[in-house]
Amino acid sequence: MPVHPRTRVLGAVLALSLALTGCGDGADDDAGPREGGTEEDGATRDSPAADSLTLDDPWIKAATVEDGMTAVFGEMVNDGDQEVTVVAASHEDADTVELHEVTTQGADATMREREGGFPIPANGTLPLEPGGNHIMLMGLTTDLEPGAESTVTVELSDGSTTTFTAVVKEHAGANEEYEGDHEDHGGDH
């Protein structure tokens, strides 16, 4: 039966034609894997997270060294298309700076360190306000008087940092208790 060899030839031609189609003419190069691995991690950003972050109307509640602590407020704005997370902060006139949230149980408002820092959604905002999230300054080394300006530095989860100039203002609120009542920290009198 001479059918077999002929079938085999047709099969080979078909395979060759599929192979040629598969190779393409270079038009779909973009879809293929690239050497160098620069696109391997889809989450890699072109610029530091700090570049997309601003703090609108940053202000600090006036406080003295004797008060010991106060807080920074404002509205954190992320104008990038990926979420950014503030993980730490520092201030030139405070020994310790923490990222706090306020929880309310009945009439008691208590503040504590916020787990995971402050995530700010892509093209979104996160308000820092009395009674809510705030950057807590503790162990003040200088009186922060109304009208003064000072620099707050924040660090993001990718290690990038940015600074804001905050103006000191009188404010009657924001007197939440610190969880654990750490008012006497230090004790070196």
Contact positions vs Cu ion (CB under 5 A): 100, 111, 136
**In the complex, least distance from residue 51 CB atom to Cu ion, rounded to whole angstroms:** 27
Q: In whole angstroms, give the CA distance from residue 72 to residue 130.
A: 9
Q: In whole angstroms, give the CA distance from residue 103 to residue 106.
A: 10
Give Cα separations from 59 to 26, 90, 100, 129 (angstroms). Answer: 57, 15, 16, 10
**In the complex, least distance from residue 138 CB atom to Cu ion, rounded to whole angstroms:** 8
Q: Which residue number, 5 or 116, has a Cβ lying nearer to Cu ion?
A: 116
Q: Which residue number, 50 or 102, has a Cβ lying nearer to Cu ion?
A: 102
**In the complex, least distance from residue 139 CB atom to Cu ion, rounded to whole angstroms:** 13
Structure tokens at 56: 């609108």
Closest by CA position to 144, among listed 69, 57, 63? 63
